[in-house]
Amino acid sequence: MKPSFLIIAIIMTINLTASSPVQTAHSGEIIRDLRIVGFWEQQSDSAGGPRVILEINRNDAQEPTATIHTFIGTSKEGEFQTDAFSQQDSVFSFIIQPFSVLFHGILIDNGAGIHGKLINPDQTEQVLLFSRVQPQELNGLFPRPPGDIYSYHIPEKTNDGWNTGSLMEAGIDSGLVMEGIERVIAGDCGLLNSLLIVKDGNLLLEEYFYGYDSGTPHLISSNTKSICSLLIGIALDRGFIKSLDENVFSFYPQYEELNTDSSGKITLRHLLTMTAGYKLSGNIMEETDNRIRTALERDVIHEPGITFQYDEGSANLLAGIIKHATGMHADVFAEKYLFGPLGIITYNWEEEKQEGYPCCQGSLELLPRDMAKIGQLVLNRGMWNGKQIVSKEWIKESTTPKAKPDYGYMWWRGESRLDGKTIESVVATGIGSQFICIFPSFDAVVVMTGSNYHNNMTPEPIRILEPYILKAMVSQVDASGESIDKNPDFEAPVERLVTIRVVPVVLLKGSTIYITGNHEKLGSWIPDRIPMDLKSDGSWTHSFSVENNTHLEFKITRGSWETEALSDEGFVPPNMLLDIGSDTTVTVSVRRWKDNQ
């Protein structure tokens, strides 16, 4: 879900079809009133919504340019570029992007104010009045006040459950981290609002920008999905939900008329892995007044469990599943079993509610310090301050890649290369630069929040991770490891494409077949010829161990290929099935699991 900026609230998604910029009154030299240059603050109105700052500058060619800044209180919420700037004397106009909204303005009160209009396609007008303001008076306009010199400080210890400490005491190169902060202040990360670092269970860095502070809840966008995954795990742990393979319609008896042969195959597991197979329909989830019904009545165009599609509707269906299974709406259930035990008391999940159902696709607001608690909970395999909140088994299951090589149950998996080492991560991510990044090898969590919604800079903050934050920690890494695996309870996301040739494809009792395989990472681990013995059920199976205490298991049945991960805990992820047909060469995904030793 996207935040409601003033521009959106006023004109929604207006497309410019009429009106044109102000034209010059004559064909001679254009006369421009330079008094328009500067910063202009929208005067308060009775609506009490977000406020607007209009910034007018001159570029290198001395042509005027305009930028629109939007604020909630003193916190900067958005920044919009403009084009087609036109001016004659004290009258000017420009187009606000990406909404293509026309703005007309004129200097008033002897240059002390601007009378502005937003022009709608139907020629209706919204009036905005601005008064001149000095930039140093605008808290939140810049990452930090102009002229402010950054210096590191240990985060404040409060009663929210966090222990705090210093970067230096944790063995982290504080100089590198400070260089990264300077890049943020220079604007290299767009509108990054917060940056927090937790290591070894201690909060070591807590910085805020653009007017945000530790007491300001932030929209976490699709990080909401990852938290809903935790809620499903808790419900499963406590017996509210019996199995992830329960049919979705078993949780929605009131919509049984929508149950078809295709949709009737969809399970809770398919929703969590984004493999339900529904037809995607743009922004329909943001436009409907009944997200659950809209999600359920969509056509199913892929066999459930096969094709990954990032689907907001699947996430929203979790809201009704939690309510039906537990008798509590997701926010109430979270308060009792997740937020409460974590000491999370300042949050907002009221936006976009429908008939009591919270929006599970991305409307939750949390404090960045509490986002870090979610990350620490996952890092600690479901434990917080000595109490098991969600089972260790669920954490491992939900963060292990499934149908997509980097996606589990609404948690992403990442991989960074630094100084010849591979650094694995578990990540919750959301539009606008909302990130909970978990690095098991460093016993660390990094949290970022941002307002990069309309400037194409959502991924930019991640760019400071490797060269500044991770590199500052790398001195603690085992220098001999090609893959860093300090925390073996997280299965490495090495599910990759492997070409397997099966010879012969003849189902005869007592026969033996062989497979050969290759893989850019696992190729040296797979024997050149693997014997596979026929079982009584008509399938071939073979299990073998390779280096680094890793196990692989292959299984061939009539018409399908399955791969399964083995563990000493008996953990077996969902099988992946691919049709072999008559071809003797198939492309499959192979999993590996490393012994917890």
Q: What is the CATH number of the domain that holds 434?
A: 3.40.710.10
142 part of a folded domain? no
Domain housing 231: 218-459+471-476
Please say if the pLDDT value at position 418 is more than 90. Answer: no
**Residues 453, 501 within the same domain:** no
What mean pLDDT comes out for the span 498-512? Answer: 34
**Residues 421, 531 within the same domain:** no
**Residues 376, 318 within the same domain:** yes
- How many domains does one find in the chain? 3
Q: For residues 534 and 217, which has the higher predicted lDDT (pLDDT)?
A: 217
* Residue pLDDT, tens place only, 374-417: 999 999 999 999 999 999 999 999 999 998 889 999 999 998 88
76 part of a folded domain? yes
CATH number of 125's domain = 2.40.128
Is 340 strand, coil or helix?
A: helix
Which range is least confidently modeled, 61-70, 303-312, 429-438, 451-460? 451-460
Average per-residue pLDDT for the chain: 78
- The whole-angstrom separation of Cα 433 and Cα 457 is 8
**Residues 451, 532 within the same domain:** no
| Residue ending a domain, choose from 447, 476, 505 | 476
Q: Burial-class residue 577 by CB neighbours within 10 Å (0-12, 13-18, 19+).
A: middle
**Residues 301, 448 within the same domain:** yes
* Residue pLDDT, tens place only, 165-219: 999 999 999 999 999 999 999 988 999 999 999 999 999 999 999 999 999 999 9
**Residues 451, 399 within the same domain:** yes
**Residues 396, 298 within the same domain:** yes
Tokens of 140: 């939140």
Q: How confident is the model at residue 258 (pLDDT cuts 50, 70, 90)?
A: very high
Facing residues of 64 across strands?
58
557 part of a folded domain? yes
Q: Select from 482, 489, 516, 501 the least CA-distant residue to 587.
A: 501
pTM of the model: 0.75
167 part of a folded domain? no
234 part of a folded domain? yes
407 part of a folded domain? yes
- The residues, ordered by sequence, that sit 6+ positions from 376 with a Cβ below 8 Å of its Cβ are 198, 201, 384, 445
103 part of a folded domain? yes
Q: How confident is the model at residue 48 (pLDDT cuts 50, 70, 90)?
A: low
**Residues 333, 395 within the same domain:** yes
**Residues 422, 502 within the same domain:** no
**Residues 437, 506 within the same domain:** no
Q: Select from 407, 413, 211, 453 the least CA-distant residue to 314.
A: 407
| Residue ending a domain, choose from 137, 163, 183 | 137
**Residues 446, 565 within the same domain:** no
**Residues 431, 549 within the same domain:** no
Q: Select from 203, 181, 176, 204 the least CA-distant residue to 194.
A: 181
483 part of a folded domain? no
| Residue ending a domain, choose from 445, 476, 507 | 476
